[in-house]
Amino acid sequence: MIFVQLAILLGMILIGSRMKGIGLGVMGMVGLLIFVFVFRMTPAEPPIAVLLIILAIVTTAATLQAAGGLDYLVSIAEHIIRKNPSRITLIAPFTTYFLCLFAGTAHIVYSLLPIISEVAAKQRVRPERPLSVSVIASHLAITGSPMSAASASLASILAYSSASVHIMMICIPAAICGIFASILAVWKKGIELDKDPVFLEKMKDPEFARSMDPMEVDEGKRVHYEPRPGAKTAVAIFGLAIFLIVMFGAFPSLVPHVGGPPSFSVNATGHINLTALIMIITLSASAIIMVVTKTSTVQVAKMSLFTSMATAVVSILGVVWMSATFMLANEAVIEHTFKDIVSAHPWTFAIALFLMGALTFSQAATTRTIMPMGVALGITNPHLLAMFPAVNGDFLLPGYPTLLAAIDFDRTGTTKIGKFVVNHSFMLPGIVAIVVTILVGFVLTGILL
């Protein structure tokens, strides 16, 4: 029976991922309906904490966007990339990583992809190289940022005071090593641009050839960027919110002790728990940004990040609730089947994380769905931290928006999906980055934790 139920679970995820948008969420609810009415399963608790974390964090990021803070951060990243054009394959991925790490979202990479593609092509560097690694770097940033829903979800699942700090301690340096390894992997990937037959054919078009002129002074042709009034202030407030979250995670004694019985907001020791703290700090930062920079609530509600939050909430509610119900109903079977394997070879759990990430296209949903099973199987917290970056399996099938955007922005045609679908431009750097990041993570947990 468990195999029939698993087939339904995977079927709903596959259909939902093809529908895109809220498809994953609504098909997850269909799966839950089948589990409850046909198999008489008891519904698990819905992922309320994760949904509230997403609401709080994305609202704050949208407020930063409305105040012009994201544009200001992108302008800094663009300046760094354009200042080092000959080293674009090295500079662009790390610039992208740290920008997304600070912002807590990979979607900010859309602003950088056309710049990376343009600079690379004019330097006659195959754009596939910096573009592919930059996209992977933007995903890895999610599993190290204290402002991402995935990291906040893992911290709440691990449920110990310094979890968020340990995520940063392990995942950030491990990801940097993984990104560097992926850069080396693509450094000479493919034919050099000035010998690529597709590019040479495109260069026969005079207008395209003029746009690819390496002598063109890009800075002179661009409109000079002036930060909006309050943009820098918004970034400073956002940065302060990150600092406070990290500080409370590093020094649990600073967390307010309010007493009272354990609840959603209070842990067993009577202290405010990390989930509640994140929501309080981020939404307070959002309010302060609005007041100080005179950003209206209407502006915030119109931002792309804010509108995308509805999709994320519906998707995670459906797929995580369905998956959690399946796990709850089959917990004994799963534990009996996999506990010995996972205990002897903890790294095998990373495969489950990676495949679920590839199916759900969501780091937060994958974290909330699979990580509790890791805890139940007895995997230690350090090992779970080391394997956390495996949730970035969303590049396996080239349907994630950041991958498609990179392909579209590469006018030279070097960044592409192969004949067999999985042999796309992002496969090599993605696999190398994830494997190296996890290996380094295991080493770091052995040293630091």
Is residue 433 in some structural domain? yes
Give kind and range of the element (H or E) at residue 105: none
Is residue 419 in some structural domain? yes
Average pLDDT of span 131-152: 92
Q: What percent of the chain has pLDDT over 90?
A: 39
Given this model, what pLDDT does residue 217 score? Answer: 41
pLDDT for 63-96, tens place per residue? 999 999 988 988 888 888 888 888 999 999 999 9
Given this model, what pLDDT does residue 307 score? Answer: 81
Average pLDDT of span 3-23: 84
Is residue 19 in some structural domain? no
Residue range of the domain that includes 135: 46-213+227-448
Q: What is the mean pLDDT of the chain?
A: 87
Is residue 260 in some structural domain? yes
| pLDDT higher than 80, residue 31 | yes
pLDDT classification of 144: cutoffs 50, 70, 90: very high
Give the residue with greater pLDDT, 255 vs 435.
435
Given this model, what pLDDT does residue 98 score? Answer: 94
Helix (H, G, I), strand (E, B) or coil at 271: strand
Given this model, what pLDDT does residue 216 score? Answer: 47
Is residue 358 in some structural domain? yes
Up-side HSE of residue 214: CA atoms within 13 Å toward CB? 10
Average pLDDT of span 305-327: 83
Q: For residue 108, what are the CA distances in angstroms to 229, 232, 354, 429?
A: 21, 17, 23, 20
From 155-159, 194-198, 295-299, 397-401, the region with the lowest mean pLDDT: 397-401
**Cβ atoms of 426 and 395 closer than 8 Å:** yes
| pLDDT higher than 60, residue 23 | yes
pLDDT for 331-371, tens place per residue? 788 777 777 778 778 888 999 899 888 877 788 888 988 89
**Cβ atoms of 120 and 154 closer than 8 Å:** no
Average pLDDT of span 98-120: 87
pLDDT for 387-412, tens place per residue? 999 999 989 877 777 888 888 888 88
Helix (H, G, I), strand (E, B) or coil at 294: coil
Tell me the backbone φ, ψ of residue 271, rounded to 5 degrees. -95, 155
- Looking up tokens 């796309």, which residue turns up? 424
Given this model, what pLDDT does residue 220 score? Answer: 43
Is residue 164 in some structural domain? yes
Average pLDDT of span 421-436: 92
Say how far apart CA 318 and CA 42 lie, in whole Å.
15
Structurally, the chain folds into a number of domains equal to 1
**Cβ atoms of 59 and 302 closer than 8 Å:** no
Residues across the chain: 449
Q: In sequence order, which residues have a C-beta less than 8 Å from that of residue 342 and are 6 or more positions away?
A: 348, 349, 374, 377, 378, 379
Tell me the backbone φ, ψ of residue 101, rounded to 5 degrees. -60, -40
Q: What angle do CA 55, 58, 61 make, to 5 degrees?
A: 150
Tell me which DSSP letter residue 39 carries: S
Q: In sequence order, which residues have a C-beta less than 8 Å from that of residue 77 and are 6 or more positions away?
A: 95, 96, 99, 112
Give the residue with greater pLDDT, 51 vs 298.
298
Is residue 368 in some structural domain? yes
Given this model, what pLDDT does residue 224 score? Answer: 63
Up-side HSE of residue 164: CA atoms within 13 Å toward CB? 27
Say how far apart CA 79 and CA 43 lie, in whole Å.
51
Say how far apart CA 104 and CA 286 lie, in whole Å.
14
| pLDDT higher than 80, residue 221 | no
Given this model, what pLDDT does residue 441 score? Answer: 96
Given this model, what pLDDT does residue 225 score? Answer: 67
Is residue 134 in some structural domain? yes
From 166-180, 314-328, 372-386, the region with the lowest mean pLDDT: 314-328
Average pLDDT of span 189-209: 89
**Cβ atoms of 54 and 367 closer than 8 Å:** no
| pLDDT higher than 60, residue 215 | no
